[in-house]
Structure 1
Amino acid sequence: MKYYAKKGQMDFGESIGVIMLDTFTPFIPGDVGNANTFSFPVRYEKVEGLTVQKMMKEDDLYYESLLEAGNKLARHGVKAITGDCGYMAIFQEKLVDDLKIPVFLTSLLQLHFLKHLIGKKEKIGVITANSNLLDQRLLQTIGIDESFPIVIKGLEKEKHFHDFAIKESGFLYKQKVEEEVVHVAEKFVTEHPSMKMILLECSMLPPYAKALQDKVKLPVYDYASMINYVQSGLVQSVY
């Protein structure tokens, strides 16, 4: 096999690139922002100054910064690009058109697949960081309309989650956040008996997926499941 160098590329083997918002939060194992989450190398690129609040304004100035981050990752050889915030959905359509490699910015893209795994009268529960931001306008940017079989629950009122993920206190108590996420999920399932699976929208939630699943006994999908799926297609295993 013949290998070729790429001008300007100094490291190789990173198939997945992750565009990071400018946040002040710890990324623990399981979080998309922690490289130990994955069994393969990933490459990160932060968009300086781009916060969730600024991103939601859909300003072209911020989009250009996002696009530059994507182009930089592509120049370093990644084969596909994701993000570290589900609300990046608002830029999915534009970025996938402007970059020349696959783009999957938000875990919500999995809804298009998951809806075919359940019956017509069944639901997918979406647990999100802030339900006030995950509105129909945002969902429509990735083709999720009102006919989709989803119900949504936010974590914005949970003290420990709010402090580290929304307020950005700079620290988190993993056990406390886990207790909040599991409690919300239990209540969510009780409120919606037709719910057959759960999608965790936020990239900070995969660390709690196992504890959540152990309690509610349902399939759970998240950012990690999406990234692992895309990676499996980019780099096939030898059997």
Structure 2
Amino acid sequence: MRRGTVDDLRIGVLMLDTPFRRLPGDIGNARTWDFPVQFRVVKGADPARVVHGEAKGLLQPFVDAALDMVAAGVRGITTSCGFLALLQREMAAALPVPVATSSLLQAPVIEAMLPAGRRVGILTFAAEALTERHLAAVGVRTDTPIEGLPPDSLFRSVYGAKGGESDIDRLEAEVVAAARRLVDKHPEVGAILCECTNLPPHAAAIAAATGLPVFDIIGFIDWFARSLAPPAYPRG
């Protein structure tokens, strides 16, 4: 028997170093998941450093934390920030298990599913920080429509770890308004992809407001985790 491992531990989540409350549906809330998940905070990986600082100097801390979780039995790795798409190739090369750094990895598949003339649109924490480098790192078209939360929004304050109370109704109103701006500016958008891992608690409201399919990190990791432990069906 192996020592120091945990059975059936499919997914390890590399967490940013943040103080804020995580709602049910957020990647960092254990109640979000229907299967065992391990969380590991990467010290020093605060939102400003990852989002606006392009995660410079953080590759090795993320790799080290991931390897520690793999040694404990984790069979797949993800992260709590879509901006870590910048590290996808390097982390995949460094780890012995599959890694999905960002929900943005889904974009090419989503776009392939859509009717002719329709495109995926990205809803992000900070549109000004989501660059062509982030998109190209995970195979996303660099002309993909993008809309973000305003710099002065409560959402940016809370989840940027700048302070503010987590007022669920106000956060949701801001998110829905951003989603509506996205589809108003880009009527060709046929599906919305949430970059930010704090957006999934509001996915149902986004879908209701826009009438469009909404993809996020939670659905993506559910799919990922299923591949690591496919269900066995009755024969006959």
Which of 108, 121, 124 is the equivalent residue of 1:125?
121
Which of 160, 166, 169 is the equivalent residue of 1:172?
166
Aligned counterpart, 1:183 = 177
Which of 131, 135, 146 is the equivalent residue of 1:135?
131
Gaps of 5+ in 1: none
Matches within 5 A, 1:1-239: 5-9=1-5, 11-55=6-50, 56-60=53-57, 62-146=58-142, 150-157=144-151, 159-169=153-163, 171-239=165-233
Deviations 1:157-194 (A, max 9, x none): 35221220124316311111001111221232122211
Which amino acid in 2 is paired with 1:54? R
Equivalent pair of 1:24/1:170 in contact (CA under 8 Å): no
Report SS of the residue matched to 1:33: coil
Q: Quick one: structure 1 residues 75 and 156, their matched pair in 2 at CA, closer, same or farther if it must change by over 3 Å?
A: farther
Q: Quick one: structure 1 residues 98 and 170, their matched pair in 2 at CA, closer, same or farther if it must change by over 3 Å?
A: farther
Q: Quick one: structure 1 residues 27 and 81, their matched pair in 2 at CA, closer, same or farther if it must change by over 3 Å?
A: same
Equivalent pair of 1:23/1:51 in contact (CA under 8 Å): yes
Report SS of the residue matched to 1:112: helix
Report SS of the residue matched to 1:132: helix
Report SS of the residue matched to 2:24: coil
Deviations 1:122-153 (A, max 9, x none): 2211000001110102212222243x6x2000
Report SS of the residue matched to 1:44: strand
| Offset of residue 88 of structure 1 | 0.6
Aligned partners of 1:57, 1:121: CA distance in 2, in Å? 32
**Percentage identity across paired residues of the two chains:** 31
CA RMSD of superposed structures (Å): 1.6
Equivalent pair of 2:179/2:210 in contact (CA under 8 Å): yes
| TM, length-normalised to structure 2 | 0.92
Q: Quick one: structure 1 residues 54 and 157, their matched pair in 2 at CA, closer, same or farther if it must change by over 3 Å?
A: closer
Aligned partners of 2:152, 2:211: CA distance in 1, in Å? 22
Which amino acid in 1 is paired with 2:44? G
Report SS of the residue matched to 1:209: helix
Worse overlay, 102-111 or 210-219: 210-219
